[in-house]
């Protein structure tokens, strides 16, 4: 059985969606074909048209460049539909699984209805929570785009046999917003491979990277890796690190891309011991976690941080890293005061003090590292997301 996924931006590096997809799908019993935006070869900076894994293939979506042009939405929609029709017929697709409510997903909905193929809709961010962030300010999306996105989401929810969300919070919001039976909503938690993510396996890589970065023997490396935007708290993190008393004994390393990338680059170029290293393939991340000492996730309290639990939090904890995170729902459901260091949302001074605490007391924080690893191992044992998803596919085909 082959499942067709329709994604936006899955091919970007250091992104939660890509890692989530690979961790869940690589343990699936079925084959998976993905239509998504193109990736970039990290060594040669060339667009990748096709990528392959053990049981999945990612193909470039046609017509993406037209979305940036005037009237691009209406130009790309028929292109997406034709490409999806071609792949469905060529590969004998059993289920169409669309992600979020963009034009590609709407084209997938149309193809599912036209060919009478079951549709699954996976919500990564609820439309009611969507905002566009530009630099340090929230920019309100024009009403026309908001209405279109709401209409897309409503059509997809009503057309899908199952709607998948990542947390119980999102499931509750969906039930409140749409008149859906609970049996049509599935919670599919993020998944990490705890056998692969063992810090002991990457000791040699830790030493290599720390030499490459020029890290002194007793220097503490704080890490942020992921999307660089407002609700991941990058501005607060930069401000807190710049105000630290012990900057000479620590450094902040940042990986990723996003709207605040230029601000991060500018700050790093003018601030001692802040370094920005761009994006890397997700396969490089275990070594980067191992080379760091503390992952920082200083998110504000907003709709996005209530809904989602980021992959990078699970990965860092599985790698036995100390984690500093904000007291927001999406983080606290995994990382509480028993296994992490908690600060209040948008409390820059509190974040500064917590990072100073890590520098001064690092050798005494071994119980936190071990507890973080244990928490994730237990969580992954109790909830096998790959099995949950495979059961959904089997149920939907048998209906």
Instruction: Tell whether the model's pLDDT for residue 279 goes beyond 70.
Output: yes
More confident residue, 357 or 102: 357
- Band (146; pLDDT cuts 50, 70, 90): low
Are 213 and 348 found together in one domain?
yes
Q: What is the CATH number of the domain that holds 352?
A: 3.40.50.2000
Regarding beta strands 132-134 and 56-60, do their DSSP bridges make them parallel or antiparallel, or are they unpaired? unpaired
Instruction: Tell whether the model's pLDDT for residue 14 goes beyond 80.
Output: no
Are 393 and 375 found together in one domain?
no
Of 110-114, 141-145, 301-305, 394-398, the poorest mean pLDDT is in 141-145
pLDDT tens for residues 95-141?
Answer: 999 998 888 899 999 999 999 999 999 988 777 655 444 333 444 44
Sequence-ordered alpha helix ranges (H) in 92-224:
103-115, 143-159, 168-177, 203-213
Could you give the angle at the alpha carbon of 309 between the alpha carbons of 280 and 281, nearest 5°?
A: 10
Dist CA 390 CA 380 (whole Å): 16
Are 54 and 152 found together in one domain?
yes
pLDDT tens for residues 194-221?
Answer: 999 999 999 999 999 999 999 998 899 9
Instruction: Tell whether the model's pLDDT for residue 29 goes beyond 90.
Output: yes
Over residues 373-377, the mean pLDDT reads 95
pLDDT tens for residues 162-199?
Answer: 999 988 888 888 888 888 888 899 999 888 889 999 99
Are 286 and 343 found together in one domain?
yes
Instruction: Tell whether the model's pLDDT for residue 43 goes beyond 90.
Output: no
The confidence score (pLDDT) of residue 200 equals 95
Are 178 and 315 found together in one domain?
no
Are 138 and 273 found together in one domain?
no
The confidence score (pLDDT) of residue 23 equals 87
The dihedral through the CA atoms of 6, 20, 328, 138 has a sign that is negative
What domain count does the chain have?
2
* Portion of the chain with pLDDT greater than 90, in percent: 54
Are 175 and 203 found together in one domain?
no
The confidence score (pLDDT) of residue 131 equals 46
Contact between 383 and 365 under an 8 Å Cβ cutoff? The reply is: no
Over residues 291-306, the mean pLDDT reads 88
The confidence score (pLDDT) of residue 139 equals 47
The confidence score (pLDDT) of residue 356 equals 96
**Edge-to-edge strand ranges of the sheet holding 95-99:** 50-52, 56-60, 31-36, 2-6, 95-99, 119-122, 162-165, 185-187
The confidence score (pLDDT) of residue 186 equals 92
Range of the domain at 134: 2-191+384-398
| φ, ψ dihedrals at 333, nearest 5° | -70, -15
Mean pLDDT value across the chain:
86
Are 136 and 224 found together in one domain?
no
| φ, ψ dihedrals at 54, nearest 5° | -60, -35
Q: Which of 36-45, 275-284, 354-363 has the highest mean pLDDT?
A: 354-363
CB atoms within 10 A of CB 384: 15
Are 126 and 207 found together in one domain?
no
Of 103, 209, 112, 224, nearest in space to 160 by CA = 112
The confidence score (pLDDT) of residue 350 equals 96
Are 388 and 375 found together in one domain?
no
Are 207 and 298 found together in one domain?
yes
Are 216 and 111 found together in one domain?
no
Q: Does residue 121 sit in helix, strand or coil?
A: strand
The confidence score (pLDDT) of residue 53 equals 86
Over residues 328-348, the mean pLDDT reads 92
The confidence score (pLDDT) of residue 174 equals 86
């Amino acid at each position: 059985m082959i499942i067709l996924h329709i994604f936006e931006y899955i091919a970007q590096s250091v992104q939660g969606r890509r890692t989530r997809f690979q961790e869940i799908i690589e343990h699936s019993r079925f084959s998976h074909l993905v239509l998504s935006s193109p990736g970039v070869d990290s060594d040669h900076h060339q667009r990748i048209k096709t990528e392959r894994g053990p049981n999945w293939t990612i193909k470039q979506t046609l017509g993406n460049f037209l979305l940036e042009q005037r009237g691009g939405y209406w130009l790309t929609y028929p292109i997406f539909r034709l490409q999806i029709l071609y792949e469905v017929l060529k590969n004998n697709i059993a289920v169409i699984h669309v992600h979020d409510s963009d034009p590609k997903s709407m084209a997938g909905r149309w193809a599912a209805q036209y060919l009478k193929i079951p549709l699954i809709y996976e919500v990564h961010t609820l439309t009611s929570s969507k905002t566009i962030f530009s630099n340090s300010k929230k920019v309100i999306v024009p009403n026309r785009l908001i209405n279109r996105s709401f209409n897309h989401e409503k059509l997809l929810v009503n057309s899908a046999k199952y709607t998948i969300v990542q947390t119980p919070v999102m499931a509750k919001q969906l039930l409140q917003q749409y008149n859906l039976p609970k049996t049509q909503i599935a919670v599919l938690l993020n998944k990490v491979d705890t056998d692969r993510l063992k810090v002991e396996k990457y000791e040699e890589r830790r030493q290599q990277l720390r030499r490459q970065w020029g890290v002194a023997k007793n220097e503490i490396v704080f890490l942020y890796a992921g999307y660089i935007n407002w609700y991941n708290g990058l501005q607060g993190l930069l401000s807190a690190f710049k105000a630290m008393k012990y900057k000479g004994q620590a450094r902040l390393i940042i990986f990723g891309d996003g709207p605040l990338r230029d601000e991060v680059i500018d700050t790093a170029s003018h601030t001692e011991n802040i370094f920005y290293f761009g994006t890397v393939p997700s396969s490089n991340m275990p070594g980067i976690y191992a080379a760091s000492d503390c992952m920082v996730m200083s998110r504000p309290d907003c709709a996005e941080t209530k809904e989602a639990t980021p992959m990078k939090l699970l990965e860092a904890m599985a790698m036995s890293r100390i984690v500093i995170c904000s007291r927001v729902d999406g983080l606290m459901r995994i990382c509480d005061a028993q296994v992490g260091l908690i600060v209040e949302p948008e409390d820059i001074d509190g974040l500064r003090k917590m990072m100073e605490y890590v520098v001064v007391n690092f050798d005494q924080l071994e119980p936190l590292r071990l507890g973080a690893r244990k928490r994730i191992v237990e969580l992954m044992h109790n909830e096998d997301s790959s099995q949950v998803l495979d059961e959904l596919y089997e149920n939907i085909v048998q209906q």
